[in-house]
């Protein structure tokens, strides 16, 4: 079987030649393959002449292989492209994993900072710093304490009954408060004495730096009235004492104050303590 070199299709087989030569033919021996008219039997019984010519044209040269060449295919290139893509993807995954591992290692690594060791500089002799002169601290004022009753008044008795206050009252043009006292005193007949009201803060410290009539001999703030009982037992039903607010000598603010109400002699020595009375005061 033969094949076409151009298209690779199989070619028809060569024509079959029939030899009709008969040894008993009349007229003597004729040329093989010819009829009585001089035409070959191949021509007479074979393919027409134009088909023979076409066959000759389609007959490949003898120096070429009769096997058709294999078709060129692009499968090899596709395989190479696929393999290259897989390799590139693997490389990207490998690089990404290495980057993640490196970042985690860097993130968790403790940062250690070393403080630079100072280089020894030129030693300088320490200069004596000037000593601060000690300033004389102010001498604290002696704390005012509650006076103790004089022993000469041991037989004096006081029966204190009541205290009440009228706030925000005016006396001689000054705003203040009227303090009312009710008490009986015994064994103080004809003795010059005072009903005195001293003022304390919430910590029991006395208000000091009184002025004018509101200043005691020891500097405490005081409101007082002079007494001289006329009987062995003298009753005071409503003894009034006025205390101006300005005499308290306080700055603006709210205060919890307390009255210390005493009976004192002419020298302000304590005869008897009578009572305490707490109140609130606000200066505007």
- Domains belonging to the chain, first-starting first, are 1-70 (no CATH), 151-283 (2.60.40)
How high is the pLDDT of residue 27? 44
Q: For the residues 207-213, what does the mean pLDDT come to?
A: 92
Would you say residue 70 has pLDDT above 70? no
Which residue is listed with tokens 């003898």? 62
Q: Residue 123: is its pLDDT beyond 60? A: no
pLDDT at 118 over 60: no
Predicted confidence at residue 234, as pLDDT, reads 98
8 pLDDT tier (thresholds 50, 70, 90): confident
Would you list the DSSP string of the chain? -EE-TTT-PEEPPPPPPP----TT-TTS---TTB-TTS-BHHHHHS--HHHHHHHHHHSPPTTS-SSPPPPP-SHHHHHHHHHHHHHHHHHHHHHHHHHHHHHHHHHHSPP--PPPPPPP----PPPPPPPPPPPPPPPPPPPP-PPPPPGGGTT-EEEEEEEEEEEEEEETTEEEEEEEEEEEEES-TT--EEEEEEEE-TTSPBPB---GGGB-TTSBBEEEEEE---SSEEEEEEEEEEEEGGGG---SEEEEEEEEEEEEETT--EEEEEEEEEEEEEE-
> Is the separation of the CB atoms in 181 and 151 below 8 Å?
no
pLDDT of residue 166: 98
Read off the pLDDT band of 43 (50, 70, 90).
very low
CA distance linking residue 189 with residue 253, whole number of Å:
43
141 compared with 189, residue with greater pLDDT: 189
pLDDT at 91: 80
Q: Tokens 């607010």: give the residue.
A: 245
For residue range 127-151, what is the model confidence (pLDDT) as tens digits?
Answer: 444 444 444 444 444 455 566 666 6
Residue-wise pLDDT for 220-258, tens only, equals 999 999 999 999 999 999 999 999 999 999 999 999 999
Q: How confident is the model at residue 5 (pLDDT cuts 50, 70, 90)?
A: confident
Q: What CA–CA distance (Å, rounded) separates 173 from 169?
A: 10
Alpha-carbon distances of 259 from 152, 188, 256, rounded to whole Å: 25, 23, 11
At residue 14, the pLDDT reads 57
pLDDT class for 78, splitting at 50, 70, 90?
A: confident
pTM over 0.85: no
Q: Which of 258, 261, 263 is nearest to 275 (CA)?
A: 261
167-178 burial, b at 16+ Cβ within 10 Å, e below that, comes to: eeeeeeeeebbb
pLDDT score at 97: 78
pLDDT beyond 90 at 31: no
Q: Look up residue 172 and give its two tokens.
A: 């001689």
pLDDT of the residue at 19: 52
Sheet holding 174-186, edge to edge: 157-171, 174-186, 233-244
- In this structure, of 131-145, 180-194, 199-213, 270-284, the range with the lowest mean pLDDT score is 131-145
Burial of 67 (0-12, 13-18, 19+ CB in 10 A): exposed
Contacts of 57 (CB under 8 A, 6+ apart): none
């Amino acid at each position: 079987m033969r094949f076409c070199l151009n298209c690779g299709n199989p070619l028809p087989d060569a024509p079959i030649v029939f030899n009709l030569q008969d040894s008993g033919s009349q007229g003597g021996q004729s040329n093989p393959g010819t009829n009585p008219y001089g035409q070959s039997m191949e021509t007479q019984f074979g393919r027409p002449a134009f088909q023979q010519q076409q066959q000759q044209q389609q007959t490949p040269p003898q120096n070429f292989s009769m096997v058709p060449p294999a078709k060129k295919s692009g499968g090899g290139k596709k395989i190479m492209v696929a393999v290259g893509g897989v390799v590139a993807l693997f490389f990207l995954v490998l690089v990404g994993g290495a980057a993640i591992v490196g970042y985690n290692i860097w993130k968790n690594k403790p940062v250690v900072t070393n403080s630079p060791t100072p280089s020894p500089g030129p030693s300088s002799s320490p200069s004596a710093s000037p000593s601060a002169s000690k300033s004389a601290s102010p001498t604290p004022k002696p704390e005012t304490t509650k006076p103790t009753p004089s022993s000469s008044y041991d037989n004096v008795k006081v029966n204190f009954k009541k205290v009440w206050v009228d706030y925000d009252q005016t006396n001689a043009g000054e705003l203040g408060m009227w303090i009312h006292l009710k008490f009986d005193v015994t064994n103080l007949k004809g003795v010059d004495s005072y009903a005195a009201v001293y003022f304390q803060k919430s910590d029991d410290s006395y208000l000091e730096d009184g002025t004018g009539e509101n200043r005691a001999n020891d500097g405490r703030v005081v409101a007082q009235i002079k007494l001289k009982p006329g009987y062995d037992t003298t009753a005071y039903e409503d003894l009034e004492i006025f205390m101006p607010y300005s005499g308290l000598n306080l700055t603006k603010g709210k205060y919890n104050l307390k009255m210390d109400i005493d009976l004192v002699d002419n020298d302000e020595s304590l005869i008897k303590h009578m009572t305490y009375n707490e109140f609130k005061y606000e200066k505007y």
